[in-house]
Structure 1
Amino acid sequence: MLILLSPSPTSLLPPINTHNATATRTKFRRQPLLKVRAESSEGGGTTAETAAVVGGLVSNPVIGWSLYTLKTTGCGLPPGPGGSIGALEGVSYLAVAGIVGWSLYTKTKTGSGLPNGPFGLLGAVEGLSYLSLLAIIVVFGLQFFVQGSIPGPLPSEQCFG
C-alpha cells in the first residue's frame, strides 16, 4: 500500500479575513468569470467582426487569383462583365488592407491581435490577410523588377486593349 503525504488543501487557499470574507471570496470568484465572458465570442460576434470574416473569406482567394494572374500574364484580372471582376479585385485589396490595419491598430492598443470572432474565423481571416499581404509584396516586387512597373488600378491598353 502506497501512502502519499501532501499538504492539507486549506494551506493552498489564501488566508481569510473574518470581517471581509464574503466580499473577498465574491470578488475573487466573479472577476475571472466576467473576464471569460468578455473574451468569449464563440457563438457570434459584433457586426464588424462578422463583416470582416465574410469580407476576408471572399477577398483572400480573389487576391490569390489576382496575384497568380499577375505573375503568369503580367496583368491583373480582366474587367469582366460591367467591370465586376476588376471591381471585386480592387475591393478585395482594400478589404485585406483594412483587416491588416485593424489588426495592427488592435495590436498596438491591446498587445494582442484581433479577437477570435465568430467560431474562431476572425483569427483565421487575420492570418490569411497577413499571408496575402506577404504574397502581394513578393509578387509586386518580382513584377517591378521583371517588368519595371506594376499594373495600375484601371485596365490598360497593354493588357485588355
Structure 2
Amino acid sequence: MEASRMLLSSPLSTCNAVRRKHFSESLRRHGCRSPPPLKIVSMAKEGSDAGSNGGGSIIEKAAIGGGLVSTPVIAWSLYTLKTTGCGLPPGPGGSIGALEGVSYLVVVGIVGWSLYTKAKTGSGLPNGPFGLLGAVEGLSFLALLGIVVVFGLQYLDKGFIPGPLPADQCFG
C-alpha cells in the first residue's frame, strides 16, 4: 500500500493552556479561542511523480497495451457476429480465435478492475501515462456495452450465442 503525504496549513493556537471543562471560563476571559480547522493544501503520493506522464506500473502498462489491442479485435468480432451469425474464424493454428477469446477476457478484466477500484476509492482507474489507461477504461466499458447488445440481438435473431470453440453451426 502506498503512503501519502498531506501538507496541512493551520495558524498556531492563540493559547497554550490545557483545555479542560473547568478551565473553559478562564480561557474565555483571557481571549483564548480554538484555532480554525485545518485545511489540506496539497496531497501527493510518496515516491510518485504527480505531474509526470511517463509513470505507471507494469500492470497499468500491460492493461493499456492489452486494451488498445483488445477493443478493436472485439469490434471486429462483434461486427462479424452480427453480420454472419458467427464469431471470427479460427485462423492459422487457431490464432485469430485465440486472440478473440483473450480480447474478451482482457476487456472483462479491465472492467472488473475498474469497478473494484471504484468501490475501494470512489473513483475509477487513474489516467495512466498520457491518459491512456483512462481511455482504455472507457473503451472497455463501451466494448462491454457492445457485447451485451450484440449478444442479445444474436440470441433473439438466431436463438444461440456461438461458444468459445468452433462448432458445427459456424466452422464445422
Output the TM-score relative to the length of structure 2: 0.74
Contact 2:49 2:55 in 1 (8 A): no
The SS at the match of 1:34 is strand
Q: Does 1:32 align with 2:31?
A: no
Structure 1 residue 158 displacement after superposition: 2.1
Structure 2: segments with no counterpart, 5+ residues: 1-8, 17-37
CA shift digits 1:21-46 (9 cap, x unpaired): xxxxxx978x6153597583521200
Structure 1 residue 114 displacement after superposition: 0.3
The SS at the match of 1:119 is helix
The SS at the match of 2:115 is helix
Q: Relative contact order (C-alpha < 8 Å, sep 6+): which is higher?
A: 1
Contact 2:110 2:137 in 1 (8 A): yes
Higher normalized helix content (fraction of residues) = 1
Match of 1:52 among 29, 52, 63: 63
What does 1:11-90 correspond to in 2, within 5 Å?
Answer: 15-17=11-13, 32=42, 34-35=44-45, 38=48, 40=50, 42-90=53-101
Cα distance between partner residues in 2 of 1:142 and 1:39: 46
| Counterpart residue number, 1:6 | none
Match of 2:135 among 124, 129, 133: 124
Contact 2:85 2:154 in 1 (8 A): yes
Structure 1: segments with no counterpart, 5+ residues: 1-12, 21-26
Letter in structure 1 aligned against 2:61: T
- Number of aligned residues: 142
Identity, % of aligned positions: 72
CA shift digits 1:26-76 (9 cap, x unpaired): x978x6153597583521200000000000000000000000000000000
Provide the aligned C-alpha RMSD in A. 2.6
Letter in structure 2 aligned against 1:108: A
Output the TM-score relative to the length of structure 1: 0.79
Q: Does 1:146 align with 2:162?
A: no
